[in-house]
Amino acid sequence: MTEPEEQIIAESKVEEETKPPKRHDGLGEIKELRRMRQRRFWRKWLLYAGAPALILILMLVGGHLTGNYILKTGQDHTLMDKLRKFRPRLITKVYDIHGRIIGTFSREKRELITYDEIPETFVQA
């Protein structure tokens, strides 16, 4: 090393030795304790107030979705009302899974027939 570098290093060592020691007046520690207490407070607050709030929100969302589902599927009764009011001119027959007629819908008791099925006397009249 050169002489000026050695002088700079020696001066910095002297400055370090002559600096007064840091005062520990306790204020820094008190501030740190306050921060820790605040953190604890917020953690407890989140645990005791945040968790139930989250559960409540989830219950509200679930109730909303369930209510909408019930309302949407509950509107099928309007379909049945429309079906009861359905009155076509020709007979519409409703069959069950065994092939038995369970109901008919019609305004008039008409049935489609072919010309060959019409009686001869009726045609001549």
pLDDT, greater one: 80 or 92: 92
| The model's pTM | 0.35
Q: How far, in Å, are 46, 93, 104, 108 from residue 90 at the CA level?
A: 69, 10, 10, 7
Query: What tens digit of pLDDT does each residue of 28-83 get?
Result: 777 788 888 888 888 888 788 888 889 999 999 999 999 998 888 776 667 777 77
Show Cβ contacts of residue 110 under 8 Å, excluding neighbours closer than 6 positions. Answer: 89, 90, 91
- Give the C-alpha separation, 73 to 79, whole Å: 11
The string of DSSP letters for 33-85 reads HHHHHHHHHHHHHIIIIIHHHHHHHHHHHHHHHHHHHHHHHHTHHHHHHHHHH
CB 90 within 8 A of CB 111: yes
- Give the C-alpha separation, 18 to 29, whole Å: 26
